[in-house]
């Protein structure tokens, strides 16, 4: 009984890594689609988000089943409840990647991000991809310094998000209303993406050390 449970927990951990890998792929492709105005790529991200949602539901159900069948306590319970929350955050990160792709698709064949902000969004893309990649790695190897790197890139995403507002409101902005709307939403999507990754990384730290990061108190 115990061995089966351990095997199922282990499999759950592996599938969480797989979910994170899909999110990493989604945000990478979405950002490239955005920065290069690639319609086919944007559409693939939008379609593949269904797979992320399906995987989320499947993992969710397995967590509930484990709770019901094994009535776990202590560490096992902590792992499963925390996994449920990480699944929810990763699914949301997938949604945010899809939102980026939807804006890229909606503006095709034009670029959604005007030239004046393309450098800022290229940096946001790079930071989001690093954050996603490190989240996958952290879920794989539980090397806690990665959580610190994720936090730093989240801080960078917040700064870049501020840069977007500074560019919009600094008096030099010559974009159209559509561009203003798009970069406002895109900035928000990337900023939220970072928040969710920090939330996942803090939950990994919590599982490994039993300490809940103070960041969890910092709601966005």
Q: CB 109: neighbour CB atoms within 10 A?
A: 6
Binding site for its own copies (CB under 8 A): 49, 53, 57, 64, 67-68, 71-74, 77-78, 81, 84-85, 88, 91, 95, 165, 168-169, 173, 177-178, 180-181, 184-185, 188, 217, 219-220
104 φ/ψ angles, rounded to the nearest 5 degrees: -55, -45
Between 181 and 208, CB nearer to its own copies? 181
Task: Find the shortest distance in angstroms from Cβ 70 to its own copies.
Answer: 9
Between 60 and 159, CB nearer to its own copies? 60
Which token pair is 212?
């809940």
Task: Find the shortest distance in angstroms from Cβ 139 to its own copies.
Answer: 20
Between 3 and 217, CB nearer to its own copies? 217
Task: Find the shortest distance in angstroms from Cβ 45 to its own copies.
Answer: 14
> 3-class DSSP state for residue 58?
helix
DSSP H or E stretch at residue 108:
none
Question: Does residue 51 contact residue 22 with C-beta atoms inside 8 Å?
Answer: yes
Torsion of CA 102, 162, 131, 62, to 10 degrees: -60
Between 149 and 215, CB nearer to its own copies? 215
């Amino acid at each position: 009984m115990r061995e089966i449970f351990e095997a199922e927990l282990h499999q759950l951990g592996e599938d969480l890594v797989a979910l994170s890998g899909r999110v990493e792929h989604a945000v990478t492709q979405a950002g490239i689609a955005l920065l290069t105005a690639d319609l086919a790529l944007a559409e693939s991200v939008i379609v593949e988000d269904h797979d992320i949602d399906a995987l989320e539901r499947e993992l969710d159900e397995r967590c509930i089943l484990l709770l019901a069948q094994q009535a776990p306590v202590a560490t096992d319970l902590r792992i499963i409840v925390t996994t449920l929350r990480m699944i929810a955050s990763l699914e949301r990160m997938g949604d945010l990647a899809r939102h980026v792709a939807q804006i890229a698709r909606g503006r095709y064949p034009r670029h959604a991000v005007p030239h004046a902000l393309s450098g800022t969004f290229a940096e946001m893309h790079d930071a989001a991809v690093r954050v996603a990649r490190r989240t996958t790695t952290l879920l794989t190897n539980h090397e806690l310094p990665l959580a610190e790197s994720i936090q730093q890139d989240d801080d960078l995403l917040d700064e870049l998000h501020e840069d977007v507002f500074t560019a919009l409101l600094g008096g030099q902005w010559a974009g159209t209303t559509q561009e203003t709307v798009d970069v406002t939403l895109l900035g928000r999507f990337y900023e939220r993406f970072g928040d969710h990754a920090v939330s996942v990384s803090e939950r990994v730290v919590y599982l490994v050390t039993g300490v809940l990061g103070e960041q969890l108190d910092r709601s966005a």
